Structure 1
Amino acid sequence: MDIFLIIGLVLGCLTVIVGMIVKGANIAVLLNPAAAIIIIIGTIAAVMNSYPRSEFLNVPRVLGAAFREKQQQDPVKLIEMITELAQSARRDGLLSLEQTIESIEDRFLQKGLTLVVDGLEQDYIREIMETEIDNMEERHKANAAIFSTAGGTAPTLGVLGAVVGLIGAMGFLDDTEKLAHMIAAAFVATLFGIFLGYVVCHPIATRLKRKSQIETRNMYLILEGVIALQAGENPSSIKMRLTGMLDPKSRKKIEDNEKAKQGSAE
């Protein structure tokens, strides 16, 4: 479970509640079933109308992926692993990698090495692996788009809920106290809509996109490593090429590892 996301959602709720208390508002007004029905059911209906059945029914699984803290492969460890494989292939030949493939946990790297051992051409290997990356990106983009749609719809439905509430309030013009309560309750729908859109749905969509970007980066790193390995490049050259695909912090980590190895060798 991704505790950081849960903390963010709880913090968002507390911000609204504490803000209302500081302003002297009665938080009991948040207990508004009509507003919740308009926002939640309305948003679900909008998503149903926007996406095919198969993608809509996939929402619980996608939501679970957003809350699940999936351990992404460390790119530094990936580079170290590919470098070791290149050294092994250079020493014993590409067919020697067949003994190592089964012990590799990363499915994409495992697939790439299998293609190399099978003796396929470099262009064909690249085409197969890039196709898998493109399909994954397209799938992830569609999943994130569902929450972006919900995030854009919820605030608008909040305005609709406020209008509905104000229409109901017009029936109490002769009762000032009741009228004030109804107007306050009407704007709760707007509050719910904005909160659901900009504190829940849009951030979840952004989080899904970011997770996809990290996974895609690692897959391209593996792709370039496999292609270089198949071409028989020098392990040091492969490591240098792949290191260039990393952010400065990860590059420094590789440099530190190199210095530690040299220090132990001396």
Structure 2
Amino acid sequence: PTVLKNKELTAFICDYVRLIIIGNARSHEIEALMDEELNTIMHDKMKPYHSIQIMSDSFPAIGIVAAVLGVIKAMAHINDSPEVLGHLIGSALVGTFLGILLSYCVCSPLVSQIKVVRNKQHRLYVIVKQTLLAYMNGSVPQVALEYGRKTISAYERPSIDAVEQEMMNPGGENKAA
């Protein structure tokens, strides 16, 4: 179900199964083509990450610029009362605080989460790649699935029994006896 909901992954699988069925390509050629496509997919998927990371890196500098401008404005009122001067200096410091807040409390957690999600999505493609290559190199489907299963993180990897059970009873459907 997870694979079928992901249109891009489904298209990836269909494209390479089609190449395997045609039968003219060798496994190392298909692997090189898959690697190139995976690099392109990852590059495209990481564009928002890089853009927001640049913003995150620049917010503290923008905050410093705001503080300097605020101090310059405060210096124009140097002869005013301490209350007015204090208010202007406080306003200048808000710029620094805002830059740091936006960088470290908003953008940095966001880019970290984007990277985690994109890497997890990329892992699905690697699992498919390993499975298809194993099948293409002559492994029976059950063994090819094991190649794919072994590329899953040990913390998330289903047991071989769970994979077999899912293969025998896809989607957990109960069959009438």
TM-score (norm 1): 0.55
1:172 corresponds to which residue?
A: 77
2:56 corresponds to which residue?
A: 151
After TM superposition, where is structure 1 displaced by more than 3 Å over at least 4 residues in a row? 140-143, 252-262
Tell me: higher relative CO, structure 1 or 2? Use CA pairs within 8 A at least 6 residues apart.
Answer: 1
SS of equivalent residue, structure 2 residue 156 = helix
SS of equivalent residue, structure 1 residue 138 = helix
Select 1:186's aligned residue among 92, 111, 127.
Answer: 92
Q: Would the aligned equivalents of 1:165 and 1:182 in 2 still touch at CA under 8 Å?
A: yes
1:111 corresponds to which residue?
A: 15
Q: Aligned pair count?
A: 166
TM-score (norm 2): 0.79
Letter of the aligned partner of 2:55 in structure 1? A
- Structure 1 residue 226: Cα displacement: 1.1
- Structure 1 residue 247: Cα displacement: 2.4
- Structure 1 residue 131: Cα displacement: 0.8
RMSD: 2.9
1:123 corresponds to which residue?
A: 28
Task: Give percent identity, aligned residues only.
Answer: 23
Q: Would the aligned equivalents of 1:140 and 1:208 in 2 still touch at CA under 8 Å?
A: no
SS of equivalent residue, structure 1 residue 248 = coil
Letter of the aligned partner of 1:124 in structure 2? E
2:123 corresponds to which residue?
A: 217
- Structure 1 residue 162: Cα displacement: 0.7
- Structure 1 residue 216: Cα displacement: 1.4
Q: 1:112 to 1:257 in 2, by over 3 A?
A: closer
Unpaired runs of 5+ in structure 1? 1-72, 79-103
